[in-house]
Amino acid sequence: MLGDIAEVVLGLVLLIWGADRFVHGAAATARNLGVAPLMIGLTIVAFATSAPEILVSVVAAGRGQSDLAIGNAIGSNIANIGLVLGATAFIRPIALQSATLRREMPALLAVSLLTVALFLDSYLARIDGFVLLTGLIIVVIWLVRLGIRSSSSDPLQSDFEAEIPTGQSMKASVTWLLVGIVVLLFGAHFMVEGAVSIARAVGVSEMVIGITLVALATSLPELAVSLVSAIKGEFGIAIGNIVGSNIFNLLAVVGVAAAIQPAALPPSVLSLHLFVMVAFTLVLFAMTYEYDGRSVITRYEGFALLIAYLAYGTYVVLQSVRIGV
């Protein structure tokens, strides 16, 4: 067991560092190619911050462990809102001032409902994976058009302008991009190896390990980015990081897992986990809606999200240990 835990910790460290280098390299490469900062943030950075989940999904599905990959995607979306957004807002209230981000919110809700519709037969077929990957292409095209149409006065524009690397050579940018991918692959391998071994040792399903342990680990890069951004006052990045990551988690992570290895879903996915994911998404939608001309996620709301996430996680762990599924 100690060796398995060590593998998970090593995988976690590699995933966090690799994700940071991958995001850095991808953003710098795009900037050197003349891509606008807002476009980079909406597409490349959003996709890159989901790289840990995507690589874990590829490795897990390739090993025939699609439950872990799917659990990782669902659990990461729950953790991104409950843990990441909750902790960030609790430390510093988040003001949503970006019209671009408000347009992304309905897209996240639509993608979540599409995922639920595909899961209703309790089986994720290869065609379901292709539907999600097609949705990914459509969303990327829509985000590109959204970035083109967005006003230069949108606060999100200046946030990305300040954070995307400048003055780095193309050679260095591409090097960090490749290094990030390689390190992420090794991190995903160790994470999956350790997580599967722990699941077997304690007698719980790979789905539960994916929703709890692996999802928490792969959400840590988002937590770091959102916390730092909020402290700097870059609230657009703090929320945009979560919204973009959740969209890509469902379309890319679940899509890749299903395309590689179709899988039957445990009953708990529909009866609990998907329900909780959609509930957190609806809460995020409500919290960021302008009721009085201003949209702020307060410390109280952040604390409530944290408590809800901890309660959900505790319930899942206790139930899985008790019934051994």
Residue type, 13: V
**How does pLDDT run along the chain (325 residues), one tens digit per residue?**
788 889 888 988 898 888 888 888 888 888 888 877 777 777 887 777 788 888 888 888 888 888 888 999 999 999 999 999 999 899 888 887 777 777 888 899 999 999 999 999 999 999 999 999 999 999 999 988 887 777 666 667 776 777 777 778 999 989 998 998 899 889 888 888 888 888 778 778 888 888 988 888 888 877 887 887 778 777 777 788 888 889 999 999 999 999 999 989 988 888 899 999 999 999 988 887 765 556 788 899 999 999 999 999 999 988 876 655 4
Pairing relation of β-strands 263-264 and 94-95?
unpaired
Cβ-contact 52, 265 below 8 angstroms: no
- Measured between alpha carbons, how far is 231 from 176 in angstroms, rounded to an integer? 26
Q: Which domain holds residue 121?
A: 2-323
DSSP structural state of residue 153:
T
Q: How many domains does the chain have?
A: 1
- Measured between alpha carbons, how far is 52 from 54 in angstroms, rounded to an integer? 5
- Measured between alpha carbons, how far is 232 from 163 in angstroms, rounded to an integer? 11
pLDDT given at position 293: 54
- Helix, strand and coil in the chain, % to nearest 5: 80, 0, 15
The encoded tokens of residue 197 equal: 């071994």
Burial of 137 (0-12, 13-18, 19+ CB in 10 A): exposed
Cβ-contact 39, 51 below 8 angstroms: no
- Measured between alpha carbons, how far is 15 from 129 in angstroms, rounded to an integer? 24
pTM above 0.85, yes or no: yes
The CATH number that applies at residue 177 is 1.20.1420.30
Cβ-contact 252, 46 below 8 angstroms: no
